[in-house]
Each structure stands twice: as C-alpha cells, then as structure tokens.
Amino acid sequence: MSKLFSNFKIKDLDIKNRVVMAPMCMYSAEADGKAKEWHYIHYAARAIGGTGLIIQEATAVEKRGRISDRDLGIWEDSQKEGLKKIVDECKKYGAVMGIQLAHAGRKCEVKSEEIIAPSSLAFSEESNTPKEMSIEDIKVAVKAFKDGAIRAKEIGYDIIEIHGAHGYLINQFLSPLTNKRKDEYGGSLENRARFLKEVTAAVREVWPKEKAIILRVSAEDFIEEGNHPEDLAEIINMVKDEGIDIVNVSSGGVALAQISVYPGYQIRYAEIIKEKTGLPVIAGGLITSPLMAEEILQNGRADMVFLARELLRNPNWPLYAAHELKDDIEWPEQYLRGKIR
C-alpha cells in the first residue's frame, strides 16, 4: 500500500487518503456570496474522483473581506443553505470537507467596499490604498472569523482552514512588509502574530475540540526583508496552542516579487515548518505526478499533499494515481466499467 493512499487520522477524522484538494476560488458566486450549481458540481466531481480532503475555496467572513464580488461568503446565515449543499454532496462520495475562512484585507477589489489593512499601504500601483484598521476594525474582523466558524459548524464542515497565506488580511499582519503598525499589533514577531492568535482563539472557542483546524501560511515572502520559513515556524509556535492542528504550507502573495517556481519549490518550506513546529503539514505546489507525491510522503517531508491545478485538469487524478502506485482503491460503482486494471 502506498503512503498516498493510506489513511490519515487527525482528531475525530479518518481521511481515506492523503490527497488534498487545495482551496481554489471559482469566482462563480454572485454579489450575495451564495453557492450555486457550479459549486455543487465542481466539488462533488472531485469527491467522486477520490480526493480524500477537499478544502473549499476562500470563503469570505466579512463582506469587505471578499477578493471580488463573485467570492463565496459565510458572513450571513442566508449563505448556509447553499454551502450545506456542497458539503452534503461531497460527503456522499466519501470526501472529508473543509472550508477556508478568509478575509482579503487590502486585496479586496470590490469597488463598493471600504478596504482595510493593518497599515495604509496599497498592494500595487493599480490597487486602492486601504484604511489602516482601528482596534474596533480588528475586533470586528476577529468576530467575523468566529461567526464564520459557528456557521461552518452548523453547516457540517469537518475541518476549518484559516487563510493566513497569499497576502490576505492575516498574512498582511504577519509580514513586516505590510505591517508597519506602532501598536501591539505591529513591530515584533509576537506583535505581528497577535491578530492571528486572536483569530485562532476565537475560531477554536466555537469549533468543537474534537475537530481539527488547519492554518494555511505563506512560508516565504521572496523578499529579503520579509518573512522566511523560520519566521513562520516561530509564529506558528506562538499561536499553535490556541488550537492549530495542521499547517498547510504555501508561499508568496504578500508583495510583488520575483519567484522561481518549479515542481516541489515549496516542499522545503513545509519540511522546515514540520521540523520546527512538530505539527503535521500539507505540502504541495506544481504536483502532477503520483510518484512525486509519494516521494514527499515516504521521505517524511509532509503528512499530506495538496494539488490545485492538476485537479482542475483531472478531477479523477486520485483514481489514476492509485493505479500508478499499484493500489487497488475503491472506484465509484458507476465508473467500475472504466476502472484501469
């Protein structure tokens, strides 16, 4: 049996394999943030294709925390019904369902919204300049994550991923490139980690103890003065006791930077975070081959692997991957005549 198709146990969850569908914005909702037919079909297809853990795309906890006006949202109760349909569909086919709770901060591109960030610095020349968040804004954002977690629990998600990566609000607090605050939320690593710590504590307060929480981080800012994997490991060590169970390791997005990307370029960051925090990690980036995924797991470099674009190209990737790794996994009954033997 390959490692990729061995189960992964975390808290109350027994995930049937170690293939994680990374969160991917579909920009297919309308301004009300509600899930639609596209979402039910898109996610259910990956569940049918054998993905063990599906992490639903960045789902905004505040209206002004959307990237675009086509993002999914979880900022009000009326959004629960559509989201529940995604969860119910995916669970029918044996996937474990996660939701990425997100706030865009200065990366909000919705014209009608007030844009907020830890400091009043625009992402690029084309971007709007955000308002520096007041302490009240910080409290509102923390509460929005908490309310999102309450709704996620009511809907029936199995796992929450807190979006701390790719230059969105939490990442904007964590990075010295975007956080120039002079108060207790800026300056030292400990101060920059404070917002994340408060968000994690607020989510954990309402998210059942037996259920896991993932934190997604950008482990490398790709700018000398920015954060590097060792800084992220230190930050995670400061907040993990608030309730982080797994770290999903990504990189970049906080500032415009030159990045050299190649298959596996983020795996080293995941290894560093795993080693320095002692937490299980999800690693990935440009994974297309089952053998590459298997190597990462067999060598203990990560505990699970994520795939994003490859799962857009091929929703049945896990079914193919199992065959290539010589594992005889269960195929959906309806597809048995197509099973590779």
Ligand X SMILES: Cc1cc2nc3c(=O)[nH]c(=O)nc-3n(C[C@H](O)[C@H](O)[C@H](O)COP(=O)(O)O)c2cc1C
Residues that bind ligand X (CB under 6 A): 22-25, 57-58, 100, 163, 165-166, 216, 250, 284-287, 307-310
Q: How far is the CB of 163 from ligand X (least distance, A)?
A: 6
Q: How far is the CB of 225 from ligand X (least distance, A)?
A: 23
How far is residue 68's CA from residue 71's CA, in Å, rounded to a whole number? 6
For ligand X, which is the closer residue by CB, 270 or 307? Answer: 307
Q: How far is the CB of 328 from ligand X (least distance, A)?
A: 26
**CA distances (Å), 247 to each of 4, 24, 74, 91, 124, in order?**
18, 17, 22, 23, 28
How far is residue 268's CA from residue 301's CA, in Å, rounded to a whole number? 8
Give SS3 for 91: helix
217: which strand partners?
164, 249
Q: How far is the CB of 339 from ligand X (least distance, A)?
A: 25
Q: How far is the CB of 182 from ligand X (least distance, A)?
A: 30
284 CB-contact burial (10 Å; exposed 0-12 / middle 13-18 / buried 19+): buried
Q: How far is the CB of 187 from ligand X (least distance, A)?
A: 27
For ligand X, which is the closer residue by CB, 93 or 265? Answer: 265
Q: How far is the CB of 271 from ligand X (least distance, A)?
A: 17
Residues in the chain: 341
Mention every residue, 6+ apart, whose C-beta is less than 8 A from residue 99.
Answer: 55, 56, 59, 74, 83, 152, 155, 157, 159, 160, 161
For ligand X, which is the closer residue by CB, 186 or 245? Answer: 245
Q: What secondary structure does DSSP assign to 297-335, as a single string?
A: HHTTS-SEEEESHHHHH-TTHHHHHHHHTT--PPPPGGG
Contact 103, 147 (CB under 8 A): no
How far is residue 259's CA from residue 265's CA, in Å, rounded to a whole number? 10
For ligand X, which is the closer residue by CB, 239 or 287? Answer: 287
Strands 116-117 and 96-102: unpaired
Helices in the chain by DSSP H: which ranges?
37-48, 80-92, 135-155, 169-174, 189-192, 194-206, 229-239, 267-277, 290-298, 309-313, 317-324
Give SS3 for 296: helix
Q: How far is the CB of 209 from ligand X (least distance, A)?
A: 25
Q: How far is the CB of 308 from ligand X (least distance, A)?
A: 3
